Structure 1
Amino acid sequence: MASKRKGDPIAERVTGYELLLELLEQGNSLGWSFYFLGTDELTSCKAVEKITELYPNVKIAGRHNGFLTKEEEPAIVAEIQRAQPDLLIVAMGAPYSDKWVYKHKQELAQVKVVFGVGGSLDVIAGKVTPAPALWKKLNLEWLHRLLFAPVAKGQKSRWRRQAVLPKFVFRAMIRK
């Protein structure tokens, strides 16, 4: 929407979830290895189990939940370095995933692709239902998640974190 208002529309919109599914599909064909970091322990296990079932040729280089203490981080980074995955999928939610990746980018330089996928592992595991097609068409997946997805224990309120989105929409509408 913002790109359209600025006169430079993006040809298509691709969500992190859609991109992850496409990468898993490609990884299944090409034998890529993935390391999954994020979500809670039970959901992480379920997501990897589901991925293994749906994409049997994907190599699981490792996984860890996203509730890390600062003291645990060096060991997790070392584990990822040892695993040498083709792709590191970080599902700690925004902005935590981005900040974590940025903080460790030098140490993770050997990983070919690192990206944050928000709540994608929650959807794969079946903890969260994907937004219905109409919500997607209207670019309101964020609102669907805000209204219907549970907030993990120990996480800040989703309402507070997503309060910036209506502000962004308003600014995009008034600026050209």
Structure 2
Amino acid sequence: MIRTVNILDVDFSKLTLKETMNLIRDKIDNCNNKFLHIMTVNPEIVVQIQEDNELMEISKKADLLTPDGVGIVWASKILKNPVPERVTGYDLLIESLKQGNLYNWSFYFLGSDEEVNRNMEIHVSNFYPNIKVSGRHHGYFNHEDEEEIVQEIEYLCPDILIVAFGSPHTDKWIEKHRKRISAKVVFGVGGSMDVITGKVAETPEIWKRLNFEWLYRRIIMPERKDRQKKLKTFAIKVIKQALGFN
């Protein structure tokens, strides 16, 4: 049984990044017909889940919800059931690539624009030569293309399917095609491929150490202002939960 902490009706895993990777490796080594669906959830997505019944149901069906963001760590401490560390989509992707290179895993990269998606394949080829990129496709496709993509994934059976549509589209797409996805592990990575390929600058280390990545993103991406209003909503709701008002 995986240890969890409930934050606003979302059950977050208390596994460390290392423990999460052990779970992924075990799934790939001992495959069955059901893929491991990991949702990487930050405070903004928690609010989305509360406002979207479909996304709430998907979150309850997912195998693992990881604490993607310092806000989740803060909330778990406020609720006196702390998670040991953040486990972000970016960290999961980087560690999966490292271990994939050790164990010859296969990947399918789905999402972002064509340039980023293509550059991701090049990056993997250059830095993780033992990984097999089974296939890839950008995230801007029509209904006919979507069917071809699903058929391709179904045929290729990658060890890991990486989806980068952003929330909530990523996990809704995974749920839509749940019965046909033949990958062993599936998780969303938000804009991580944009960072890895250099389209978006990585957060400087000093901002990470201060747990101010959210503020750095707010400064360099002012269009995130409305999205980050959800952080205030999240904080208020967590305090109410801690005080027993939920």
Q: Is contact 1:128–1:149 with CA below 8 Å preserved after alignment?
A: no
Taking the TM superposition and a 5 Å limit, the aligned residue runs for 1:78-89 are: 78-89=151-162
* Unpaired segments ≥5 residues, structure 2: 1-73
- Structure 1 residues 175 and 163, CA, compared in 2 at 3 Å: closer, same or farther? same
- Structure 1 residues 159 and 100, CA, compared in 2 at 3 Å: closer, same or farther? farther
Structure-2 residue corresponding to 1:154? none
Structure-1 residue corresponding to 2:190? 118
Moved more, 22-31 or 99-108: 99-108
TM-score, L = length of structure 1: 0.87
Structure-1 residue corresponding to 2:84? 11
Matches of 2:233 and 2:119 in 1, distance apart?
A: 35
Structure-2 residue corresponding to 1:77? 150
**The one of 169, 172, 175 aligned to 2:235:** 169
Moved more, 53-62 or 162-171: 162-171
- Structure 1 residues 127 and 135, CA, compared in 2 at 3 Å: closer, same or farther? same
Amino acid across the alignment from 1:15: T
Alpha-carbon RMSD across the aligned residues, in angstroms, is: 1.8
Amino acid across the alignment from 1:78: Q
Structure-2 residue corresponding to 1:68? 141
Structure 2 residue matching 1:72: 3-state secondary structure: helix
Q: Is contact 1:89–1:114 with CA below 8 Å preserved after alignment?
A: yes
Matches of 1:27 and 1:161 in 2, distance apart?
A: 33
Matches of 1:105 and 1:145 in 2, distance apart?
A: 32
* Unpaired segments ≥5 residues, structure 1: 151-156
Taking the TM superposition and a 5 Å limit, the aligned residue runs for 1:1-176 are: 1-108=74-181, 110-149=182-221, 158-176=224-242
Q: Is contact 1:31–1:58 with CA below 8 Å preserved after alignment?
A: yes
TM-score, L = length of structure 2: 0.64
Once the 2 structures are TM-superposed, how far is the Cα of residue 138 of structure 1 from its aligned partner?
4.1
Runs of 4+ deviating beyond 4 Å: none
Once the 2 structures are TM-superposed, how far is the Cα of residue 5 of structure 1 from its aligned partner?
0.8
Structure 2 residue matching 1:71: 3-state secondary structure: helix
Could you give the per-residue CA deviations for residues 30-51 of structure 1, whole angstroms, max 9, x where no partner exists? 0000000010001111111111
